Amino acid sequence: MNLDLRTMMVMIAVLSFLFSILLAVASLHARGVQGLRHWALASFCISLGSSIALPNLHAGQGWPVVAGAALLAAGSTTQLAGIQAFKGEACHIRWMIAVVVAVGFFSYWFSLVHINIQFRAIANSLVFGAINFTCARALLIRLPTPERTAHWLTGASFAVLSLIYASRAIAIYSAPPGTYTLFSPMLINPVMFLAGSVIQLFLTFGFILMVNYRMASQLENLATTDALTGAWNRRSLELELQRMLARSQRRQEPMSVVMLDVDHFKLINDSHGHRAGDEVLRQLTARARLEIRRDDYLARYGGEEFCLLLPGTTELDAHQLAERLRRIQAEQTVDWRGTPINSSISIGIASSEHTGLNGDALLEAADAALYRAKQTGRNRAETFSQFRISPA
């Protein structure tokens, strides 16, 4: 079966143009995801570059070929910039410009000055192969399973395209001097253009899949975390509590719950403003994260109250942690617009050693101990086992 190169160039141009529209529209609805606009611009450059080079495909010479090759290089490097932006990395603009200039120079030199289509094709194939290899390396990384699928699909597509460019350079180099053109009876030419149009499809949908997983992760994060402090919210706390209780039951180990509350928080808001109060809560969360273990769970229970779930922890160990947190909060100040704000916390501690592995009982006991700490002077840590609370 004969594969017409002009038809495949038209396919690449049309597909890339449609993808640029798709990605541009997607960027309007996924404002929190970086890289979409880069890929929209990249697809447009690839479409425009293919369109400019198409009328001169047979001759393979002239300024349109130079411009087309430079635009294709701009498209490929902008795809890499999109990957870097998606990952939150800095985009190396100078490196991108250098690659585009190199492709433009090779195309200009071997098309207009020292005309040699064979050398031009080898040089550009090596450059494009290197760009796609760099894109593949940026994506073929260790990630959690859902995200890894999308990253590896896109990265594998870049890797295949890189191998095709490298194979093309080797095949052209092996051909007799002066015999190569785009219409030479070499299998690598139609394979490259056909693979280019098909892989462009995989690349775009792979990136869209990456964006989809990122947005799903962000939505899940919004549903499970507190927007102000970044701690887990009360809903996720209740779900995690049941999971930890089941694990403690299986392992026959104790579990403790710690409730924290900022003392006189209303006074902080009234004296310094609500934004100052917000900063106190944020810094309290950051300090607590530094002190707890990886398996411990910190959630904002409501208002200025926080809850810690401590699996495999006795009441004594939980009390030691609570005292450490209490001292740190009392000793450190929050610098709010040049004004130091001092605050303290009251803490209530309950352990399954005294309540059993029951979630409601643990939370109620820790809350009762917290109430006791506030009643007896604040800036202190009380354990539920230190006193008896009669039922209401």
Using one digit for the tens of pLDDT, what is the confidence trace for 211-244? 888 888 878 888 889 989 999 999 899 999 999 9
CB 121 within 8 A of CB 172: yes
Beta bridge partners of 350: 257
Q: What end-to-end distance do the CA atoms of the chain give, in Å?
A: 86
Q: What is the DSSP string of 237-277?
A: HHHHHHHHHHHHHHHT--EEEEEEEETTHHHHHHHH-HHHH
CATH topology agreement for domains 5-223 and 234-386? no
Q: What is the DSSP string of 185-228?
A: S-THHHHHHHHHHHHHHHHHHHHHHHHHHHHHHHHHHHHHB-TT
Using one digit for the tens of pLDDT, what is the confidence trace for 127-176? 999 999 999 999 999 887 778 889 999 999 999 999 989 998 998 888 88
Lowest mean pLDDT among 52-56, 191-195, 245-249: 52-56
Q: Report the C-alpha gap between 365 and 285 in whole angstroms.
A: 22
What CATH topology corresponds to 234-386? Alpha-Beta Plaits (3.30.70)
Using one digit for the tens of pLDDT, what is the confidence trace for 309-335? 999 999 999 999 999 999 999 999 999
Q: What is the pLDDT of residue 182?
A: 64
Q: What is the DSSP string of 82-96?
A: HHHHHTTPPP-HHHH
Listed by start position, the domains of the chain span 5-223, 234-386
> pTM for this structure?
0.70
Locus of tokens 């919004």: 222
Q: What stretches of 92-177 show up as alpha helix (H) in DSSP?
A: 93-108, 117-139, 145-174
Sheet holding 255-262, edge to edge: 297-302, 305-311, 255-262, 345-351, 381-383
Rg (CA), the chain: 31
CATH value of 5-223 in 1.20.1070, 3.40.1000, 2.60.40, 3.10.620: 1.20.1070
Mean pLDDT of the chain: 87
